[in-house]
Amino acid sequence: MINTLSSLLHRAGISLSDQQKHQLVSYVGMLDKWNKAYNLTSVRDPQQMLIRHIMDSIVVAPYLEGRKFIDVGTGPGLPGIPLSIVCPHAHFTLLDSLGKRVRFLRQVQHELKLENITPVQSRVEAFTDEPLFDGVISRAFASLQDMVSWCHHLPAAGQGRFYALKGQVPDEELSALPEHLVLESVISLQVPDLEGERHLVILKQQ
């Protein structure tokens, strides 16, 4: 697994320490083990998890601005756990409404000794924190409209951004955004061995 991950990282032009690689592989091992009882992800093959979960998450890292982020609807910690491993100087709140997922996240936090994550069980509309966040990240929200509507209270005024991980460019969603949102950029992401398109949509509130 380490060799496979090293090869994928090399092809993506990403450099990580041996410790970071071991943490990522250990996370995949935990995901695989807990998945059998908790049904955390539809991806069953650990080799595919490296591509579709780990690489698909960490290619976003170079585009994140700031040090305090929230991963809304994180599920089993995607993309928050991989990002917390490759961005050790940033802090990630991992928010999910399902208790079994948050229990898994706390176990990951304990076993991998991740000091820069805070797993939280809550509905996103009911959660807030001080200070507010530099970035609100989402990988599995239904639409940009829902993300912005449910998370409008989370990004810090002026500098806070929304980071939405998408497949194809969501042109219809982008054309229907409210006026107080500015589309900062749409970035095409390259994930080795992953079929289909991947894009990062970055929005900012005026």
Binding residues: 73, 78, 124-125, 139
Residues 6+ apart with CB under 8 A from 129: 70, 93, 154
| Whole-angstrom distance, CA of residue 55 vs CA of residue 70 | 19
The number of residues making up the chain comes to 206
Bridge partners of 199, per DSSP, are 166, 188
Q: For residue 14, which of 66, 68, 75, 83 has the smallest C-alpha distance?
A: 83
| Whole-angstrom distance, CA of residue 26 vs CA of residue 112 | 8
Binding positions for S-adenosyl-L-methionine are: 73, 78, 124-125, 139
